């Protein structure tokens, strides 16, 4: 993935790998990549509380502290293709966040998903979560996004409490409650090419229940609650 990102030829592109002390050796591989690409590839070895949410937040804070104008979040298993990043960067100057979406017109998921899996994911994102939260975003659990630094700063990352897959929903809800401009662009979302998913049925059920907690926690937010830059 790192080689594919660097091959895009984007000026001043930097890559940050957030290592949550993974037992699969991610940290050591990341260190090797840093040695191969000094000043372009960086690794953040986390030693605090584990979890998807805190890993994202720490990564965002690192990027902001190091002067990033735009921050692209993505998985490194090739379910998020680097080929979309130039499209993100072309659109982000006129929006506050650009979302790679499976559920806008033109978006697709892997042909191997099967109708049942696709319907469950589509219903959870485009119907259930949108109905409860009242958001426009169709792919509320999307993990492939491009943020303006001003947006991440204005959200106030200390507001984020979710530590699992509901993190993406919480970020999407806060973003819309604060009145930021969201653009969804269609992507093709293949099954991961490396690694295994941790998204078990119990995790999915827990995430569905936590949507209500996200609404209760943030429903009073207004654009005036943005943190000024």
pLDDT of residue 206 exceeding 90 = no
In sequence order, which ranges of 92-158 are alpha helices (DSSP H)?
115-122, 130-133, 149-155
For residue range 147-178, list pLDDT tens digits in order: 999 999 999 999 998 877 789 999 999 999 99
* Residue 198 DSSP symbol: -
pLDDT of residue 208 exceeding 80 = no
Domain ranges of the chain: 49-225
- β-pairing, 41-45 with 70-73? unpaired
For residue range 80-93, list pLDDT tens digits in order: 999 999 999 999 99
pLDDT value at residue 147: 99
Please report the sign of the dihedral spanned by the C-alpha atoms of residue 4, residue 10, residue 14, residue 19: negative
Q: Which tokens sit at 58?
A: 């720490």
Percent of the chain with pLDDT over 90: 66
More reliable by pLDDT, 193 or 214: 214
pLDDT value at residue 47: 82
Please report the sign of the dihedral spanned by the C-alpha atoms of residue 164, residue 162, residue 186, residue 130: positive
Kindly indicate whether the domain formed by 49-225 is annotated with CATH number 3.90.550.10.
yes
Cα of 143 vs its chain's centroid, Å: 3
For residue range 104-154, list pLDDT tens digits in order: 999 988 877 778 877 878 888 888 999 999 999 999 999 999 999 999 999
Grouping H, G, I as helix, E, B as strand and the rest as coil, residue 49 is coil
Write out the H or E segment, with its range, that includes residue 41: strand 41-45
Q: Which tokens sit at 57?
A: 């937040």
Average pLDDT, the chain: 89
Which residue, chain included where needed, has tokens 């660097």? 6
For residue range 12-62, list pLDDT tens digits in order: 999 999 988 777 777 888 999 999 999 999 999 988 777 888 999 999 999
More reliable by pLDDT, 199 or 228: 228
pTM listed for this prediction: 0.90
Q: Which tokens sit at 89?
A: 């960067």
């Amino acid at each position: 993935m790192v080689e594919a990102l660097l091959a895009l030829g984007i000026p001043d592109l930097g890559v940050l790998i957030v290592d949550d002390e993974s037992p699969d050796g991610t940290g050591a591989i990341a260190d090797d990549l840093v040695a191969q690409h000094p000043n372009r590839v960086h690794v953040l070895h986390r030693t605090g509380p584990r979890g998807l949410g805190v890993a994202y937040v720490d990564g965002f804070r690192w990027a902001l502290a190091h002067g990033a104008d735009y921050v692209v979040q993505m998985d490194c298993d090739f379910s998020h293709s680097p080929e979309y990043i130039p499209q993100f960067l072309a659109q982000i100057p006129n929006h506050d966040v650009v979302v790679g979406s499976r559920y806008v017109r033109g978006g697709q998921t892997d042909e191997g998903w099967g109708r049942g899996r696709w319907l469950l994911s589509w219903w959870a994102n485009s119907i259930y979560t949108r109905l409860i939260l009242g958001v426009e975003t169709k792919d509320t659990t999307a993990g492939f996004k491009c943020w303006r630094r001003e947006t991440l700063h204005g959200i106030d990352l200390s507001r984020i409490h979710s530590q699992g897959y509901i993190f993406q929903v919480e970020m999407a809800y806060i973003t819309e409650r604060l009145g930021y401009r969201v653009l969804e662009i269609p992507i093709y979302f293949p099954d991961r090419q490396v690694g295994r998913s941790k998204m078990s049925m119990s995790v999915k059920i827990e995430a569905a229940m936590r949507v209500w907690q996200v609404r209760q926690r943030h429903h009073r937010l207004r654009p005036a609650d943005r943190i000024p830059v």
